[in-house]
Amino acid sequence: MQITAAMVKELRERTGAGMMECKKALQEAGGDMEAAIELMRKSGQAKADKKAGRVAAEGVIAAAAGEAGVALVEINSETDFVAKEADFQAFAQRVAERALAAAPADLEALLALALEEGGATVEEARRELVARLGENITVRRFERLAAAPGRILAHYLHGSPVRRIGVVVELEGGDEALARDLAMHVAASRPQYVSVEDVPTEVLEKEREILRAQAEASGKPPEIVQKMVEGRLRKQLGEITLLGQPFVKDPDTTVGKLLERAGAKVLRFVRLEVGEGIERKAESFAEEVMAQVKGG
C-alpha cells in the first residue's frame, strides 16, 4: 500500500512523533494506522535508548516557587524547536514542581519520583516524551533552595519564548524588589562568587601567578611588578564577584554599595544557563536534512 503524505501527517498528529518515524511505522504496518500506532508505542523505550547518545544542548530552565522555597531545573533537547513545544515545556515545569515539593537528594532521586500522583516516574515520562517528540531529552540538573525565617528568596527567568537562564538569590534584609533586581543582575552579569572571601585560595594563587608573569614581562622593578599584580587582581576580582560588579540598573554603584545602603546581605545565589559546559557537535542544516532523507 502506498504511504501518502496525508497518512504520515495524521499519524504524526496522533502520536507527536517525528515525520520519518511515522513513515517507517506506516510502512511496517502496511498502511494500517492503528497498527502503526501500536508499533510506535511498543518501540517507545527502544527509541529513547537509541537517541540517548545524541547531544542535547538546547532546552529550558523551569522554576517552581512556593512556601517551601524555590527550585530550578534544566531540561535539555537537541533543538530549539522542540524546546518551544508545549508538551516539552509542561514536562519541564512539572519536574520543577516535583523537585520543590519532594526535595530529592540528587538527580537519581528526582528521576525516580512520580511525576503525577500514582502515575509514571519522571524518567518514564521523559522516555515517553522522547518517543513522541523524536529527540533526545535529558533532565540534566536541578537546584533547590529551601525557605528560611528572616530570609528572602527571589528568582528570575530570562528568555522568550524559551527560558534559557534561571537565577535564585537568597537575601538577608532588604525586600523582595531588591532580591529580584539582584537576580536579574546575576542573570546578566554572570558573577562566579558572592564576595572576594568566597573565591578559593587556589583560584587566587593561580591568577596571581598568571598576572605576575605578565607584569614581569614589562621589565619593571620587582616592587612595581607587585603593585601591578595586586591592582590587576583587585580589578579581576571585582569582575567575577557579585559585590564588586557595577549594578546593572546603576553602573555608577557597585552591588556591594547597593546592599550596604539597603542594610542587606546576599547569602548565596544559583545561576543555571541552558547548555553551559556541554560540547556541541557542529553540523550544518543541509547535512542534517540529507541524513534524514538517506535514513528514509
- What's the CATH fold of domain 5-42? Helicase, Ruva Protein; domain 3 (1.10.8)
41 or 20, which is more confident: 20
What's the pLDDT tens digit per position in 222-244? 888 888 888 888 998 999 999 99
Domain boundaries, the chain: 5-42, 58-174+269-273, 196-263
Q: Compute the C-alpha angle 227/232/235, nearest 5°.
A: 130
Three-class secondary structure of residue 280 per DSSP: coil
Distance CA 8, CA 20 (A): 9
CA 136 to CA 117: how far, in whole Å? Answer: 25
pLDDT band of 216, cuts 50, 70, 90 = confident
pLDDT at 46: 44
Q: Which residue has the higher pLDDT, 213 or 158?
A: 158
pLDDT tens for 260-272 read: 999 999 999 999 9
Measured CA distances, 151 to 83, 131, 157, 177, 194 (Å): 34, 43, 20, 13, 16
Mean per-residue pLDDT, 182-189: 97
pLDDT of residue 53: 61
Q: What would the pLDDT profile of 112-130 be if each residue is shown by its tens digit? A: 999 998 899 999 999 999 9
Residue 16 pLDDT exceeds 70 = no
Percent of the chain past pLDDT 90, that is, above it, reads 59
SS3 at position 205: helix
Residue recorded with cell 598568571: 210
Task: Compute the mean pLDDT over every residue in the chain, rounded to the nearest whole number.
Answer: 88
Among 141, 140, 137, 64, CA closest to 102: 64
Indicate the SS3 state at residue 140.
strand
Res. 110 pLDDT band, cuts 50 70 90? very high
Instruction: Give the pLDDT of residue 188.
Output: 96
**pLDDT class for 296, splitting at 50, 70, 90?**
very low
Q: How far is CA 78 from each of CA 54, 133, 204, rounded to the nearest angstrom?
A: 8, 11, 37
The cell numbers describing 137, all together, are 531529552
Identity of the amino acid at 205? E
CA distances from 31 to 2, 111, 200, 253 (A): 7, 37, 63, 68
Residues 13/18/19/20 CA torsion (nearest 10 deg): -150
Single-letter residue type at 120: A
pLDDT at 18: 65
Give me the mean pLDDT over the 191-195 stretch: 96
Please name the fold of domain 196-263: GTP Cyclohydrolase I; Chain A, domain 1 (1.10.286)
CATH label, 58-174+269-273, candidates 1.10.10.350, 3.40.50.11740, 3.40.640.10, 3.30.479.20? 3.30.479.20
- Looking at per-residue pLDDT, the higher value among 274 and 206 belongs to 274
Residue 210 pLDDT more than 90?
no
Encode pLDDT of 33-85 as tens digits: 888 877 776 666 445 555 666 767 899 999 999 999 999 999 999 999 999 99
What whole-number percentage of the chain has pLDDT above 70? 87
What lies within 8 Å, CB to CB, of 214 at 6+ separation is 232
